[in-house]
A and B are shown apart, each in its own frame.
Chain A
Amino acid sequence: MRATVLVRPKDGILDPQGEAVRGGLGHLGFSVREARVGRVIDLDVDAQTAADARAAVERMCERLLANPLIESYEIQIDDREAA
């Protein structure tokens, strides 16, 4: 089952990469008040149900995919194949 994890720097954590992106957009003439750069992780998970997949990915995030001290994460499960 396909799962996507979005990992973001937590609010209040300085994100110099986002700042650099904001500056670059500014040079291109775009007016952007803030940019934050995170990470996308696409997974193909062995799981019978979407709930099982979500629970497994949740554990993956807590243990490895995100650092909960400085990053938040969001899990999206695509269970269309199972339907």
Chain B
Amino acid sequence: MTGTADQPRIAVVVFPGSNDHEDAALALAGLGADAVLVWHASSTLPDVQAVVLPGGFSYGDYLRCGAIARFSPVMAAVGEFAERGGPVLGICNGFQILCEAGLLPGALQANESLRFVACDVTLRVERAEVPFTSRCETGDRLVIPVKHGEGRYVAPPELLAQLEEQRQVVLRYVAGENPNGAQDDIAGVVNANGNVMGLMPHPEHAVDTLLGSADGARILGSLVDAARDRAGVARQGVAA
């Protein structure tokens, strides 16, 4: 089984200590994807068109959040997938893992308040032409919940300047809603190629107005669209 343009396949990686993989898979399935859970000990990825690293507390957050998960066997395959241009989305702990793995710039540290935060936040879309925000317009405001103790985005000044210059900041907390003291209100960043993104808020928890907001579906729906495009391209490649 491989994904099709109608129903692209998206891997949701499960680490020991992940706890949002089921919600992520359910949200992606609701948006038309065939979401498959992949255990972290697998050294390969199935034939998928996108990868999601979900939230949670992989390896108990020991040492630093994400520091040990980045050495999970599957992460080499995720790195190769990203290298080939495949879209990879890290949510919360997934964002921390991508930063530790060097697939995204910067680091995530303890919230400035030292308190765990769990609340809705309003985000501003800073860039809409990446595979994770294609269903948005630049300047759109999205309401998506956060829930983390270590989500303060940190980068040295020269890296921050580079991120701004290359427009790698995709999502920012709007003024007054920065829940963790993140530098420059950064909530989500992409790599230089724009195919790997991490964000602290949880789009998978905001895919139905019954949950307070459906704005997360615009992020995950964008990813499903990107996966769909990739499945279509792969099929054309086979047909040619």
Contact = CB atoms under 8 A, between A and B. Distances in A.
A20 B106 contact: no
B147 interface: no
Query: Which interface class (under 10, 10 to 19, 20 to 34, 35 or more) fits B?
Result: 20 to 34
B32 interface: no
A67 interface: yes
A51 to B, nearest CB: 26
Interface in B64-115: 64, 67-68, 71, 100, 106-107, 109-114
Given A67-B64, A69-B106, A16 B111 contact: yes
* Main secondary structure on B side of the interface with A: loop
Interface residues of A, number: 11
Contacts of A14: 109, 112, 152, 154, 181
A49 interface: no
Interface string A4-24: 000000001110110010000
A16 B100 CA distance: 20
A69 B155 contact: yes
Contacts of B237: none
A1 interface: no
A19 to B, nearest CB: 8
A70 B112 contact: no
B110 A17 contact: yes
B63 interface: yes
Nearest to B114: A16
Interface of A: 12-14, 16-17, 20, 64-65, 67, 69-70
Interface of B: 63-64, 67-68, 71, 100, 106-107, 109-114, 152, 154-156, 159, 181
